[in-house]
């Protein structure tokens, strides 16, 4: 019997499970930080965490508020610079990148710029930040976001960050580094990957208590649903304790 | 080189490198001169209406808020801001009406704290024009190109996206690989504000912790105003030259302003003042609130010292030191709201 957990704790523990020991991960604010710190405190003690402002290989003591926070280079191997970490990503040293988004499409392209027209937006979001760089340069991108029909869309209002663009071969044709692209999508409903042949999003696993129908109803594009859909593992007690230690004020995981 | 795609964003801060070299030869002194001055004089001398402005640091980290408040106090107008992870700086400058154009890598948000009411209102109403989009690495490398005295630099970002379409970059066929590659135009801001841990009277400056974009940004700037936690003697610099990030000839003004990054974080010295940032986020929900904030904290005080008294003085600053050193728990009003 596992303890009660929040949706965010489930997301973070599923995300943490994707990160192997001795791999490198480019981490953004919020849930990606929890997931990476959790992985480092459980199965991946030598996970190399990289922050865009220049923190390399920290042992993050408590959840940072910002990707440039002093906590992002606490007991780090290097307090470096944006040029250095972005160059390392461009040169192929970064295995995983973590991103969030306001909208995603079937090819894993992301929007964090505007809702509505770009020059007359209904809602103005912060823009690319490091997202386009992470989605362009890291080997495998993991996207963590909320799923509903307005967020899982057929057509983005703005393509901020490249997924597989419009299908197989499109990234390479655009000049993006070969062999890169979206790897997994994690939402409050389930876990997804991308079909090798079409590069379209495919359901891998539903969270406990979530049906395939729930997931399809929360998706505005045609989702690939295989015959066999797994159920994700809920967070263990050890993972829950670790997360409450990482985020004692409940800033991201909630209370 | 075959041109494949041209971004439609407005090009800001670009210079022909020969024009820049000539300007540098004429305006940037190589003399070891005492550049200490007041914030008032530095901003009067080096910030002009219509300038392209960039701030050192990142988000809420090591931002020269003291210089930003002085720009607001002097009612500078029509500035174009380099939105290179511009967070509190851009929000306050846009809210105050100083900045009406911005090139955006990241703006209009306060990371975990949520979106920025003041600058979002300005962007959504058209009062602040977004002239172009770019990515963080894209901006970093625009400054790298300028720091190297170049016209552009190639990079493998923004390809295939609307970010590229709305940027000032160009995609060409790489003459070596034959693959498409992005050419980022150099960005030479008219003026850069930067807060450092220590420097000497000439401007030789040292930064503790991550340098973020500041190594290149300091070199890309035409005019560079340094605010510093403390001024140290030249002998101390010469004993630790390996720690000098910014050599004096890049610097136009040195202003000693302890706590000059408040309410942003200064590594090893003080953490984010979440109470103060929270007050701004709460007040900036309305234009009347923006005016109230500026009247109290900017126009209502003549000096940064006066501002520090208003935000809680020595007691609050000691608390921020403790949080930075993990000796006291974080208190944040926006966090309380989130929990409700």
Its pTM stands at: 0.96
- Its ipTM equals 0.96
Q: Given pLDDT bands bounded at 50, 70 and 90, which one contains residue B336? A: confident
**Chain A environment of B206 (Cβ under 8 Å):** none
- pLDDT tens-place string over residues A225-248: 999 999 999 999 999 999 999 998
Test B61 with A54 for CB contact under 8 angstroms: no
Indicate the residue of B120, B135, B210 with minimum beta-carbon distance to A73.
Answer: B210
Instruction: In whole angstroms, give the CA distance from residue B114 to residue B118.
Output: 12
Q: Given pLDDT bands bounded at 50, 70 and 90, which one contains residue B206? A: very high
Instruction: In whole angstroms, give the CA distance from residue B276 to residue B262.
Output: 9
| Annotated active-site residue in A9, A20, A52, A217 | A52
Indicate the residue of B58, B140, B271 with minimum beta-carbon distance to A68.
Answer: B58
Residue to substitute from A51, A109, A124, A161, interface B, most B β-carbons within 10 A: A124
A52 as an active site residue: the answer is yes
Superfamily, domain A7-246: Glutaconate Coenzyme A-transferase (3.40.1080.10)
Residues 6+ positions from A35 with CB-CB distance below 8 Å: A11, A12, A13, A15, A16, A19, A98, A144
Region of A108 (left: φ > 0; alpha: ψ -120 to 50; beta: rest) is left
Indicate the residue of B111, B158, B272 with minimum beta-carbon distance to A132.
Answer: B158
Between the alpha carbon of residue A233 and those of residues A17, A196, B60, B129, B276, the distances in Å are 10, 25, 37, 47, 41
- Give me the pLDDT at residue A1, please: 47
What does the DSSP assignment read for B210-248?
--BTHHHHHHH-SEEEEEEEEE--HHHHHH-GGGEEE-G
Measured between CA atoms, how close is A213 to chain B, in angstroms?
31
Nearest alpha-carbon partner for B82 in B66, B58, B46: B58
Domains along chain B?
3-336 (3.40.1080.10)
Q: Touching check for B83 and chain A: CB below 8 Å?
A: yes
Instruction: In whole angstroms, give the CA distance from residue B321 to residue B319.
Output: 5
**Chain B environment of A68 (Cβ under 8 Å):** 57-61, 85, 210, 212, 265
How many Cβ atoms are within 10 Å of B258's Cβ, its own excluded?
A: 18
Instruction: In whole angstroms, give the CA distance from residue B143 to residue B153.
Output: 10
Measured between CA atoms, how close is A163 to chain B, in angstroms?
9
**Chain B environment of A54 (Cβ under 8 Å):** 210-212
Q: Given pLDDT bands bounded at 50, 70 and 90, which one contains residue A2? A: low
**Chain A environment of B194 (Cβ under 8 Å):** none
- pLDDT tens-place string over residues B226-284: 999 999 999 999 999 999 999 999 999 999 999 999 999 999 999 999 999 999 999 99
Residue showing tokens 């002097």: B74
């Amino acid at each position: 019997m596992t303890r009660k957990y929040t949706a965010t704790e489930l997301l973070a523990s599923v995300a943490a499970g994707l990160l192997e020991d001795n791999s490198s991960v480019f981490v953004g604010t919020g849930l990606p930080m929890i997931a990476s710190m959790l992985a480092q405190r459980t199965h991946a003690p030598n996970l190399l965490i990289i922050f865009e402002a220049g923190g390399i290989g920290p042992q993050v003591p408590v959840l940072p508020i910002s990707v440039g926070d002093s906590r992002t280079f606490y007991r780090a191997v290097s307090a470096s610079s944006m040029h250095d970490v972005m160059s390392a990503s461009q040169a192929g040293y970064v295995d995983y990148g973590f991103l969030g988004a306001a909208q995603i499409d079937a090819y894993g392209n992301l929007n964090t710029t505007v809702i509505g027209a770009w020059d007359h937006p209904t809602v103005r979001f912060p823009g690319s930040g490091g997202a386009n760089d992470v989605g362009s340069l890291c080997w495998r991108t993991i996207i963590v976001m909320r799923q509903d029909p307005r967020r899982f869309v057929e057509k983005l209002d703005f393509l901020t960050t490249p997924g597989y663009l419009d299908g197989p071969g499109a990234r390479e044709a655009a000049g993006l580094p070969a062999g890169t692209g979206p790897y997994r999508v994690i939402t409050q409903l389930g876990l997804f990957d991308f079909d090798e042949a079409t590069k379209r999003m495919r359901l891998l696993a539903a969270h406990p208590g979530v049906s395939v129908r729930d997931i399809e109803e929360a998706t505005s594009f045609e989702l690939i649903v295989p015959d066999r859909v797994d159920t994700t593992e809920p967070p263990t007690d050890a993972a829950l304790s670790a997360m409450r230690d990482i985020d004692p004020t409940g800033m991201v995981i909630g209370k | 080189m075959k041109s494949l795609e041209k971004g439609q964003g407005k090009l800001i801060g670009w210079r022909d490198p020969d024009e820049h070299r000539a300007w540098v030869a004429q305006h940037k002194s190589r003399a070891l001169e005492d550049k200490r001055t007041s914030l008032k004089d530095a901003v009067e001398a080096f910030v002009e209406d219509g300038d392209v402005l960039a701030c050192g640091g990142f988000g809420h980290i090591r931002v020269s808020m003291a210089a930003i408040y002085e720009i607001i106090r002097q009612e500078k107008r029509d500035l174009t801001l380099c939105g290179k992870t511009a967070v509190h700086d851009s929000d306050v400058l846009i809210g105050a009406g100083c900045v009406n154009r911005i090139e955006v890598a990241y703006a209009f948000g306060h990371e975990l704290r949520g979106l920025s009411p003041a600058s979002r209102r300005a962007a959504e109403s058209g009062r602040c024009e977004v002239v172009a989009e770019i990515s963080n690495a894209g901006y970093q490398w625009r400054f790298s190109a300028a720091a190297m005295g170049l016209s552009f630099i190639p990079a493998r970002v923004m390809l295939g996206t609307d970010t590229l379409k709305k940027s000032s970059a160009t995609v060409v066929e790489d003459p070596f690989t034959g693959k498409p590659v992005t050419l980022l135009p150099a960005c030479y801001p008219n003026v850069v504000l930067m807060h450092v841990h220590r420097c000497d009277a000439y401007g030789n400056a040292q930064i503790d912790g991550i340098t973020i974009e500041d190594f290149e940004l300091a070199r890309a700037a035409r005019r560079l105003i340094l605010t510093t936690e403390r001024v140290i003697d030249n002998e101390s610099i010469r004993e630790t030259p390996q720690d000098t990030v910014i050599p004096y000839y890049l610097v136009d003004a040195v202003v000693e302003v302890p706590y000059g990054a408040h309410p942003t974080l200064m590594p090893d010295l003080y953490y984010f003042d979440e109470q103060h940032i929270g007050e701004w986020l709460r007040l900036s929900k309305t234009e009347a609130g923006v005016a109230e904030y500026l009247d109290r904290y900017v126009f209502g005080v003549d000096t940064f010292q006066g501002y520090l008294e208003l935000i809680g003085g020595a007691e609050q600053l000691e608390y921020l030191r403790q949080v930075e050193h993990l000796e006291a728990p974080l208190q944040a009003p926006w966090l309380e709201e989130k929990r409700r």
